Structure 1
Amino acid sequence: MKSGKTGSLNKFFAWSLLMAGLLVAGCKTSEPGGSEILDPAYGPGWSAVHADSRNSDYSTSQGPRKVELAWNRKFDGTINLGPTIGRQGQVYVTTNAGDCHLYALDPQTGKTVWCTDKVNKFAVASSALLDEQGRLFIADNEAMHAFDALGNLLWETKIKGFPFSAQFTQTGRLIFITHIGIIYVLDRTNGAFVLEPHLLSGELPSDPNFDPRACMRGTADCPCANTLAIDQQTGRFFFTYWAPGAAQAGVRAMLYSEKNGSSIKPLWEQTALPGGSASSPDISADGSRIYVNDNAGGLHAIDAATGNSLWKYNIGYEPGGSQSTSPEGLIMPAGGGTAPLMCIQDVGREAKQVWKNDSLNHLGLPMQTAGNLAFATVAGSQGKSYKDLVVVDTKTGEVLDRVQFPGKTLFTVGTTIGPEGNVYIPAFDGTLFAFGPR
């Protein structure tokens, strides 16, 4: 499936105003409060970049306690994020080189089921979002695209800027924020605008020259550098933002509602992220707290209703991505540099260290699963160029299994689990590893 596309965004604003009035109805039921919900949106399993709408990086499936390498595959270019997984276990991954930039892979072999060049190389900074019908949604720096499970393009809607993966609203709409601070809500069946694009700065930014490297630290040059988190019970959504002229980055909360027509309402803002945002925000299982990292070694807990700071914990280094948070409030920050593998517990008005293993140099993004298990990439015995996958008990830090990655490997950029129990770990150099239960 290859057909290159080009597009100009010069007429973006006039076009978006024309489309803003379109609203396509779906199969609806009433929810408390009088708003309407569409058919359930999220697919089963790991259907979003960070597993779910909360950005938890947690799976309710229990992972394997013992693992072995099932297969690995090297792609041209880089992989920037962990894959998402379809209903039948199909693995979806993005790359930035070659003709195809979105791949569907067989989970047993890693072989290509289909690939498409309908998205350009900038799609590498997103993971495909999957709905219950098996449709995929992913953007590049020109448009948001929808595909069916066979890789056929369903629709594409031009956008301004680049979003770092999308989510679904509580009403089943597609919601995302581009890196320059424009919020979009689209009908996922046809890409029509549910409401007019919302400009966080109050005015339309100039045409951006998107460079993924400028967004790695979430600084002023890339105001919205992460994936939003949305509470499916309330419609509140949370995102990091470095406002124009602000001294540092922060977190903002807004409310999406369809009670009296589709609307977005600002709730609060918290400017507490020195050096920029180091992670996407994630929502606690009960919806009461937001967790996010800054670029000065701070892990923050913020009250989801008010935006008040609840606590700040110094993890001692700048993490290289988003943390994993369990329903019990166990938080495992991403690795980076000389980071030790660690686990932190939210105990209310403060955080406490549950355990820390200084002998495990953490060099990836962790994942937790049911059964009190966590999967993380650490430096191997031959140095940082070589990596090991460790399976640990999240309550004690006990290493339950340790398996070497073949050859030299760069920093790993995600950890995902499939329905068959495979653990998928991509490295920045474009290699995807699949570890199966042993």
Structure 2
Amino acid sequence: MMRKGWKRVSAVALLGTLLIGCAGEEDSIVMAPVPVVENTFTPESFWSSNVGDGVGRYYSNLTPAYEYGKVYAADRGGEVKAIDGETGKTLWTVNLSEEKPALISGGITASYSKLYLGTETGELIALDEETGDLVWRINAGGEILSKPLADESLIVVNTSRGELAAFDAESGEERWRISTDVPNLTLRGDSSPVAISGGVFWGMANGRLGAAFIENGNIIWQQTVASPKGATEIDRLVDVDATPVISGSLLYAVGYNGQLVAIDLRSGRPAWKRTYSSTTDFLVVGSYLFLVTDKDHVVAVDARSGTELWQNRDLEYRQLTAPVAISGYVVVGDAEGYLHWLDPTTGEFVAQQQLDDSGIAVAPIKADDAYIVITRDGRISKKQTQ
């Protein structure tokens, strides 16, 4: 009951002002005003389309995918659409809610000539990427709120029940499952798993980062990213919801009320740790690591040492998306539908663009020399910097 209650509070937080009651006290969080930015360029639009009703004001990490020269997008209600990446023409549309509500929440992963999507009702769904036809649809055992991983002919998902489960990419047959402890109260969201060299890595709601053999699910190691502290359950939240990032010999992870850590992939031991709190996916480009904190401060640190290079606080509590690298800039979206472009070396604004006022829930994705962005109301467009 506590877990579900906190999830409801998390959904309300999307409205712009979050009130958390604890022992009779209230903390009011106020969104920073839109920064005044002198644009150094204006993005060019190629095409735009719509995908159902989008995700509305619900919590969602429902990110589109670009693969096979197509853009694949979905709305929470169950509509999935394939769009020609060059022309913006709709190639096919399917509705996964014709027989029962889909409530798509995790995905989209395009691989093995298929699309893989997860739902709030605990289903993992595979579609033919060429036609949209249903290939298989199975019960994964828990909500899938993050993007599935495709690797070694397996589809691996991290469920809200604290289970990492692997399924055959062709048949949907379960191959293995790992269960971990889930605290009574957690944030709404789950880490997407990542893989390299036969290992799979994922964050857990108990503050740990896990590593296992992807072939059989046997645990290799677990590393603590955040430890519970404080007197209340809210104070003791330690979710590791951000997707880990692998760069070279290091694996990076960050936890809520925890730390940003760099872990040696071979030994599983930390190379360095720094105190940052975040649940948002982050970005590693060369020697730079870009992070959005739980206060929506955009931070750059040296990926080799963890030394902070700069911090931009002008977007505080604007409910930022994960950062993404586009045309040499760091880009984040916000709850009022703005894209903010930052200089990666200084953190200063170089451009700003409002798409619409419904808001942006997920970061843009790259599409060759352009980018794809979707808003909360389902408007999807392809753009390019000039």
Query: TM-score, with normalisation over the residues of structure 1?
Result: 0.64
Alignment of 1:94 with 2:51, yes or no, is no
Q: 1:304 to 1:388 in 2, by over 3 A?
A: same
Q: 1:423 to 1:201 in 2, by over 3 A?
A: closer
Q: 2:332 aligns with which of 361, 370, 376?
A: 376
C-alpha separation between the residues in 2 aligned to 1:304 and 1:341?
26
Q: Measure how far apart 1:151 and its partner are.
A: 0.4
Structure number with greater CO (CA < 8 Å, separation at least 6) is: 1
Counterpart secondary structure, 1:264: coil
Q: 2:303 aligned with 1:321, yes or no?
A: no
Identity of aligned residues (%): 17
Report the alpha carbon displacement of residue 136 of structure 1 after superposing the two structures with TM. Answer: 1.0
Matches within 5 A, 1:340-359: 340-347=297-304, 350-359=305-314
* CA distance 1:69–1:223, shift in 2 (3 Å): closer
SS of the equivalent of 1:127 reads strand
Distance 1:72 1:341 in 2: 30
User: What amino acid sits opposite 2:91 in the alignment?
Assistant: V
* Closer, same or farther: CA 223–74 of 1 in aligned 2, 3 Å: closer
Compared CA separation, residues 284 and 424, structure 1 to 2 (3 A): same
State whether structure 2 residue 89 is matched by structure 1 residue 127: no
Stretches of structure 2 that go unaligned for 5 or more consecutive residues are 1-39, 228-236
Is the 1:224–1:241 contact (alpha carbons within 8 Å) kept by the matching residues of 2?
no
Structure 2 distance, partners of 1:278, 1:411, is: 22
In the TM superposition, 1:277-292 aligns within 5 A as: 277-286=239-248, 288-292=249-253
Aligned match for 1:271, one of 199, 221, 224 = 224
CA deviations over 1:135-166 (Å, ceiling 9, x no partner): 21223334322211210112233331133321
1:252 aligns with 2:210: yes
Alpha-carbon offset, residue 411 of structure 1: 5.0
- The answer as to whether partners of 1:126 and 1:139 remain within 8 angstroms in 2 is yes
Kept after mapping to 1: 8 A contact 2:207/2:226: yes
Deviation track 1:269-292 (CA, whole Å, cap 9, x = no partner) reads: 123324222533323321x22222
TM alignment of 1:35-54, pairs within 5 A? none
Change (3 A) 1:358 1:156: closer
Among 43, 50, 58, the residue aligned to 1:67: 43
TM-aligned CA deviation for residue 295 of structure 1:
1.6
d(CA) in 1 for partners of 2:55, 2:207: 27
Aligned partner letter, 2:370:
G
Aligned: 1:166 with 2:148: yes
Counterpart of 1:437?
385
Q: Is the 8 A contact 1:116 1:151 kept in 2?
A: yes
Is 1:333 aligned to 2:286, yes or no? no
Distance 1:222 1:159 in 2: 20
TM-aligned CA deviation for residue 72 of structure 1: 6.3
Give the alignment's Cα RMSD to 1 decimal.
3.3
Shift of residue 198, structure 1, vs aligned partner: 2.0
Describe the SS at the equivalent of 1:105. strand
Query: In structure 1, how many angstroms separate the alpha carbons of the residues matched to 2:184 and 2:271?
Result: 24
Structure 1 residues 392 and 121, CA gap change in structure 2 (3 angstroms):
farther
Q: CA deviation at 1:95?
A: 1.9
Q: CA deviation at 1:410?
A: 3.0
> Is the contact made by 2:242 and 2:278 (CA closer than 8 Å) also made in structure 1?
no
Whichever residue aligns with residue 333 of structure 2, its letter is T
Q: Which residue of 1 aligns with 2:133?
A: 152
Partner of 1:413: 362
Shift of 1:376: 1.9
CA distance in 1, matches of 2:293, 2:378: 19
More strand by share: 2
Report the CA distance between 1:228 and its aligned residue: 0.8
Cα distance 1:174–1:311, how it changes in 2: closer, same or farther (>3 A)?
same
Contact 1:426/1:433 (<8 A) preserved:
no
Match of 2:190 in 1: 225
